[in-house]
Amino acid sequence: MSLESLLVFLIIGGIAGFLAGLIVKGRGLGLIGNIVVGILGAFLAGWLLPQLGIALGGGIVSAIINAMIGAIILLVIVMAIRKA
């Protein structure tokens, strides 16, 4: 993975984390926490969605949507663990 690809991946993950924090209102981890969860969620979605046979297409918008799905899943899991 080149430096440019990694930078784009981190930016997309950050945007996805911010949007996931808005969607999962009241359960966010703050701005920085949501961005970190978004980056980790992008990795999660990049692995999980193809395993499930889900493909949303190509391009930046679909990459943000994929990462946002992963970030929402991860944010809900983190909040469930914090609650327990």
* pLDDT band, very low/low/confident/very high, at 28 (cuts 50, 70, 90): low
> By residue range, what is the domain housing residue 69?
14-83
Q: 1 pLDDT exceeds 80?
A: no
Q: Would you call 42 exposed, middle or buried from its count of C-beta atoms within 10 A (0-12, 13-18, 19+)?
A: buried
Query: Do the domain assignments include residue 9?
Result: no
Q: 27 pLDDT exceeds 60?
A: no
Query: Do the domain assignments include residue 54?
Result: yes
Residue 50 · residue 67 · CB < 8 Å: no
Query: Do the domain assignments include residue 3?
Result: no
Q: Record the tokens describing residue 15, joined without a space.
A: 């945007």
Query: Do the domain assignments include residue 34?
Result: yes
Query: Do the domain assignments include residue 5?
Result: no
Q: How many domains, the chain?
A: 1
Query: Do the domain assignments include residue 1?
Result: no
- pLDDT tens digits for range 30-77: 778 888 888 888 888 888 888 988 887 788 888 888 888 888 888 888
Query: Residue 26: what pLDDT?
Result: 63
Query: Residue 44: what pLDDT?
Result: 86
Distance (Å, rounded) from C-alpha 69 to C-alpha 63? Answer: 10
Query: Do the domain assignments include residue 65?
Result: yes
